[in-house]
Amino acid sequence: MTKSLHGTPRSSTILWATLLLATFLTWSMGALGETGRWGVAALAVISFWKGAVIILDFMALRHAPLLWRAITMGWMIVVWAVIAIAYIKGLAQ
Amino acid sequence: METSTTTLSASPAQAHVHAGPRLAGDLAIWFFILAELLAFGVFFAAYAFTRANNIELFNAEQAALNRNAGALNTVLLLTASYFVVRAVQAAEREASRQCANWLVGAILTGFGFIVVKLGEYAAAFEHNISLSSSPFHMFYLSLTFFHFMHVILGLVILIAMWNGARQGRYRPGDMNGLETGAAYWHMVDLVWLILFPLVYVIH
């Protein structure tokens, strides 16, 4: 059976609630003064996952031709990799 | 067992369902989105490497930012994106009124972002923060304002989509305008999901 490109109200509501929960988690990490490379690594992983939900589910690229999915997800991978490299470079100072 | 006759009995409301890979919205908007992502990507890289050479300054000035306002704006943008998804889903069900109502929700939450951001800028200007006051403030103001302008354009697009939905313009098989605007709005949200942790949180 085929299904909608944009998911169901139920699936998108669950994703939205999970995104809000992840936002609360990262906000509380900041509020508690969570620092250090592991805190930053966790923050980056959570933020990457949130971006992936937007790209794959909200932008509906999960059902797009592979090339478009690869370009957009690839963009996010490169951006976070550059941020990580710069962060590590900063730690070495 | 599935047979090929399934599609013959599909109702108009099911006619839009995808049988294979499909890009939601107009192809042109996706090239525009890629150009935007590239521009923001260069900005993010410039921020990250400038910070790497000015760690103490960036950490000290970042600590003075209103992280709660930034987190609230994340919630507002995520919620606006969710409302846009629900609007598209409503149009797929040929529920134009519901589609328009979800878009009103997205517009209001989008305006909420604008209000919170303007409050943040007002507080920054009160403290004499400007583009030339420090490298961090230059990035903070230019990056967030560049994004802010995209939110404003996104709101204009959402209002046009709301107008179209009120007129019943979007229905299965005729979703291109709605999906095109939705893709742009989600791009604005996606960029913020990197901008917020990068500029407000990572230290």
**How many percent of chain B have pLDDT more than 90?**
81
The CA distance from A73 to B160, in Å, is 29
Check the CA dihedral B195-A73-B89-B100 and report its sign: positive
What is the pLDDT at residue A78? 98
Neighbours of B4 (CB within 10 A): 6
> Which of A28-42, B161-175, B181-195 is the least confident region?
A28-42
pLDDT tens for each residue of A23-34: 998 888 877 765
Q: Do B193 and A60 touch (CB under 8 A)?
A: no
What is the pLDDT at residue A31? 72
pLDDT tens for each residue of B80-115: 999 999 999 999 999 999 999 999 999 999 999 999
Q: Which residues contact A15 (CB under 8 A, 6 or more apart)?
A: A7, A53, A57, A58, B82
Mean pLDDT of B10-24: 61
Q: Do A68 and B30 touch (CB under 8 A)?
A: yes
B-facing residues of A in 21-80 (CB < 8 A) are 23, 26-27, 29-31, 35, 40, 43-44, 47, 50-51, 54-55, 57-61, 63-66, 68, 71-72, 75-76, 78-80
**Residue from the list B30, B52, B81 with its beta carbon closest to the beta carbon of A54:** B81
In terms of Cβ atoms closer than 10 Å to its own Cβ (0-12, 13-18, 19+), residue B97 is exposed
**CA-nearest residue of chain A to B69?**
A27
Boundaries of every domain in chain A: 9-91
What is the pLDDT at residue B31? 96
What is the pLDDT at residue B18? 52
CATH, range B74-203: 1.20.120.80
**Residue from the list A6, A43, A47 with its beta carbon closest to the beta carbon of B92:** A6
Per-residue pLDDT band at B137 (split at 50, 70, 90): very high
DSSP state of B174: B
> Which of A21-35, A39-53, B38-52, B148-162 is the least confident region?
A21-35
What is the pLDDT at residue B5? 36
Q: How far is A79 from chain B (nearest CA, A)?
A: 6
What is the pLDDT at residue A34? 59
Residue type, B130: S
Q: How far is B178 from chain A (nearest CA, A)?
A: 12
Interface test with B, best of A55, A59, A80 (most B CBs within 10 A): A59
